Chains A and B, each alone.
Chain A
Amino acid sequence: MAKYLLLKHYRGAPAPVNNIPMDKWAPEEISAHITFMQDFADRLQETGEFVDAQALAPEGTWVRFDGEGRPPVTDGPFAETKDLIAGWMMIDVDSYERALELAAELSSAPGANGEPIHEWLELRPFMGAPPTITD
């Protein structure tokens, strides 16, 4: 088994095929999209491949240490930041091919006019623990 992160981006991914923002969809198209996403996660739970799914707010803060006894320095959000993570789904699957298959399925979620969005999702393998048997 290997764990993968399916990353969805607010910014930084190539433009999807069906690139119409959600507020221009019909309300029932929004419902169809949300139902699709829920059904997808439910199916992965049933197959025993689901680990976690979370969404992130679009805006965060940059923080760094500024020396002992001093309050943290904060900055941002920066408009020029090219890459902005919107959320993720973590899966635990048998093969890289299975991970690709699931990512493609997730990317087929319906958007405007009920057509698949073809959104680009980023698939990132987890760095696992070193194997016990090495030879």
Chain B
Amino acid sequence: MDEGLLRSLSPSVLAILVRRGADFAAAEDAVQDALIEAVRVWPTDPPRDPKGWLVTVAWRRFLDATRSEVSRRRREDLLDEEPAPGPTPGTDDTLALYFLCAHPSLTPSSAVALTLRAVGGLTTRQIAAAYLVPEATMAQRISRAKRTVADVRFDQPGDVATVLRVLYLVFNEGYSGDVDLAVEAIRLTRQVAAAIDTRHIFYGEVAGLLALMLLHHARRDARTAPDGALVPLPEQDRGRWDTTSIAEGVEILQAALARDRLGEFQAQAAIAALHADALTAAETDWVQILEWYDELARLTDSPVVRLNRAVAVGEADGPRAGLAALAALDHSLPRHTAVAAYLHERDGDLAKAARLYIEAARQAPNLAERDHLTRQAARLNARR
């Protein structure tokens, strides 16, 4: 059974229950139950109308659950409201659900968890495993999130920017447990891109984020060596990049840029596309990449962008220029020391570079980066 297909039906089924008058929290639980039931039943008894099946089962679950909580009269009201069996309505409330799950009143971790469950159709256990927390903790985080948005009106227009930030967070989490969060983020971003009006002011950024994800995902296999070590961009085997994913990302990006509503995700995707375009690291068009970093720095005030821009300056105008750009930045920025080490190495000062790599390794925020930076120091120490 295609679990991705099953889960792709989750938001529209949930939206139908909410439209019928179920409150969001109870409806979400009912849909989750129906999904679990589908995984059990469908392999031996596949339904003719999967979405209709899910709506029927979820609605029944919802009624069972509310029976004990609300008065009989309320339940009968709901039963009266139940539409006759038949084709499910075509109106798509998918986007409204995304807005709700990424509501500004939620913390980022709550918005991520609620999005993965309510629109992603993942189970609490899967989400907990992906974020390496106990299932009870994740269950609590999700139910608190649902209480937080309990009074939010479903039909209010929401903020696309917050939805994109949530999807970006999911994508960046990468892979742990049995759920590939990067693939899941791409699937959800596709769903938003399909649901949003192409004339929407934020359409370009939705497409830009989708392109950004596809372009980075294309490099994923090449990013790690067999022993788990990080392989930096210049050393990656470009033959292992996923050309289908790159081609799709570039096409989506070009269409987005043509709409002339530039935003940070489109600019980031443009940089990724220029890297993807180079057959070898030496052929990288750093001058154009630097122009995009300048554009990006105008769009956001992110220290990460300024740090990456210093690297681009180093490549486009030489390591001395890169070091000058770096000197203007706050030295306490994460990865500042790692960039300094790299630029000093390019400048030929291997002793200083080795010392800085060791210092950068000590400050590294994760083991993969720490091992990578230690290896860089070891490589230089072995050469001297």
Contact = CB atoms under 8 A, between A and B. Distances in A.
The A contact surface, by secondary structure, is helix
Interface stretch (B14-22, B56-64, B207-215, B373-381): B373-381
A69 B358 CA distance: 41
Instruction: Sort chain B's interface into a size bin.
Output: 10 to 19
Contacts of A26: 378, 382
A27 B378 contact: yes
Contacts of A29: 378
A5 to B, nearest CB: 18
B358 A23 contact: yes
Interface in A50-64: 55, 57-59
B82 to A, nearest CB: 48
Contacts of A22: 374, 378
Interface centre among B362, B367, B374, B378, by most A CB within 10 Å?
B378
Contacts of B361: 23
Nearest to B379: A27
A57 B227 contact: no
Contact of B374 (A30, A57, A58, A59): A30
The B contact surface, by secondary structure, is helix
Interface in B170-187: none
Given A38-B228, A57-B365, A58-B362, A23 B371 contact: no
Interface in B244-273: none
A34 B228 contact: yes
Interface string B359-372: 00110010100010
B304 interface: no
Contact of B371 (A24, A34, A57, A59): A34
A26 to B, nearest CB: 6
A25 interface: yes
Nearest to A21: B358
A95 interface: no
B34 to A, nearest CB: 33
B354 interface: yes
Interface centre among B362, B365, B374, by most A CB within 10 Å?
B374
B357 interface: yes
Contact of B227 (A23, A25, A31, A58): A31
A23 B378 contact: yes
Contacts of A58: 362
A59 B364 CA distance: 11
B354 A34 contact: no
A45 interface: no
A35 interface: yes
B229 interface: yes
A23 B357 contact: yes
Given A34-B227, A34-B229, A23 B377 contact: yes
Interface string A43-79: 0000000000001011100000000000000000000
A72 B108 CA distance: 24
B53 to A, nearest CB: 38
A24 B381 contact: yes
Given A23-B357, A23-B358, A24-B381, A30 B228 contact: no
A23 B228 contact: no
Interface of A: 22-27, 29-31, 34-35, 38, 55, 57-59
16 contacts: A23-B357, A23-B358, A23-B361, A23-B374, A23-B377, A24-B378, A27-B375, A27-B379, A29-B378, A30-B371, A30-B374, A30-B378, A34-B227, A35-B228, A38-B228, A58-B362
Which 7 residue pairs spanning A and B have beta carbons closest together? Answer: A23-B377, A31-B227, A35-B227, A27-B375, A22-B374, A23-B378, A30-B375
Interface of B: 225, 227-229, 354, 357-358, 361-362, 365, 367, 371, 374-375, 377-379, 381-382
Given A23-B377, A24-B378, A31-B229, 4 more contacts: A27-B379, A30-B371, A31-B375, A58-B362
